[in-house]
Amino acid sequence: MLALVRIELSKLYRRRGTYVSFACLAALVLLVAVPISCYKEKVDHSLRDELSSGMGDDWVVGGKVLAGPFVPRVMLFWPMRKLVVNILLALFAAMAGGSAIAGEYSAGTLRTILTRPPARWKVFVAKFVVMAIYAASLAIFFGLFAFIVGYALFGRGALVFADMPADMGSGPRPMGAPIIQEGAAVQMLGQAYLLMGVSIIAAMSLALFVSSFTSHPLTAAGAALGILLLSTIVGTLGSAPKEIEFLAFFRTIRPYLLTTHMNLYEIPLARGLDQAARVALTSSAGWLAGYCAAFFAGGLLVFRRRDILC
């Protein structure tokens, strides 16, 4: 099994196309971070304004307010994170998961490897493991690169970010924006990016499942992405106010949707990991694990019985 995983990893990371997704994520970080760096003084000023808002004119904010953790945090700024996770990362995961089986099927290489001794279930498990590693590595790379760029441009320091609810920070708590000490900020953002990896693994599982019964990678990726977007739309309708009665059905199914639980990476950002957050996180992680297990089992069942005609 380990040999198969190694082979699949070697195939994945020797393909130039694999690096397009990493390059896109790096470009996105630079596209956001470089302008901030160019207008560093204005951003700094605006953050100081945020911190001193409601304190009166005799308050002066001293010290450094724009530091390394600002970049990874700004990448998770709403609505940026929705676009990045629900569209960009989901697209990469769907493309990779979709091509894992359907791509090899259409290229004919699946018949070459299936005339070798390893059992089909082992081939499927190896592909699943490698795709999960790839999906997680996307989120980890995204976070790490954002940290690296942030620290390279702005150096060390605490995180000051206006999007944060006031009850979340440690240290002085001004009205407009909390200050989170550097260590706590790195921990919080690290957790968020790791949980983002879990979300992407779930999206990839869906794509791999669709890939197990489709004959073309684009069909598989398109179908998986379509399902994710549909689920996002349904979830958005389900989050509408209760006063809108005709959306009651969507409100009912929203808690069970894959995309609802794919948002689990937002939990540490919103509340930190207090008791309530841990419960919510555990619940969402359980749902995602369930979805992954169902997609894995369904994909394996289909793949084991599938006729290789191409």
Partner 1 sequence: MEPVIECQGLTKRYGSLLAVDHVDLAVGRGEVFGFLGPNGAGKSTTIRMLLGLIRPDAGRALLFGQSVAAGQRRVLKRVGALVESPALYDYLSGRKNLEILSDMSGGCPRKRIDEVLELVGLSGRQKDRVGTYSHGMRQRLGLAQALLPKPELLVLDEPATGLDPEGIVEIRNLLRYLGESEQMTIFVSSHLLHEVQATCTDVGLLSRGRLVTRGRVADLLRQGHLEATIGIDDAARGREVLRSLPFVLAVESEDSALRVRVEAERLADANRALVAAGLAVSALVPRQGNLEELYMSVMTEAGHACSSAD
Which residues sit at the interface with partner 1, rule CB under 8 A? Answer: 3-4, 6-7, 10-11, 14-16, 107-119, 305, 307-309
Whether 153 and 71 have beta carbons less than 8 Å apart is answered as yes
CB of 123 to partner 1, least distance (A): 9
Q: Which is nearer to partner 1, 72 or 103 (CB)?
A: 103
Helices (H), the chain: 2-14, 18-38, 40-52, 70-74, 80-82, 90-98, 104-107, 109-113, 120-154, 182-211, 217-238, 248-253, 258-261, 266-271, 275-305
| Residues linked to residue 265 through DSSP beta bridges, in sequence order | none
Q: Which is nearer to partner 1, 63 or 108 (CB)?
A: 108
| Residues linked to residue 159 through DSSP beta bridges, in sequence order | 180
CB of 141 to partner 1, least distance (A): 21
Q: Which is nearer to partner 1, 107 or 276 (CB)?
A: 107
Q: Which is nearer to partner 1, 107 or 230 (CB)?
A: 107
SS3 149: helix
- Tell the residue number behind the tokens 């760096």, with chain if given: 37
CB of 236 to partner 1, least distance (A): 39
Q: Which is nearer to partner 1, 53 or 112 (CB)?
A: 112
In the numeric block, which tokens belong to residue 175? 């009205």
CB of 17 to partner 1, least distance (A): 8
CB of 213 to partner 1, least distance (A): 15
Q: How far apart are the first and last CA of the chain?
A: 25
Compute how many other C-beta atoms are within 10 angstroms of the C-beta atom of residue 260.
19
What is residue 143's DSSP assignment?
H
CB of 201 to partner 1, least distance (A): 25
Q: Which is nearer to partner 1, 273 or 308 (CB)?
A: 308
| Residues linked to residue 179 through DSSP beta bridges, in sequence order | 160
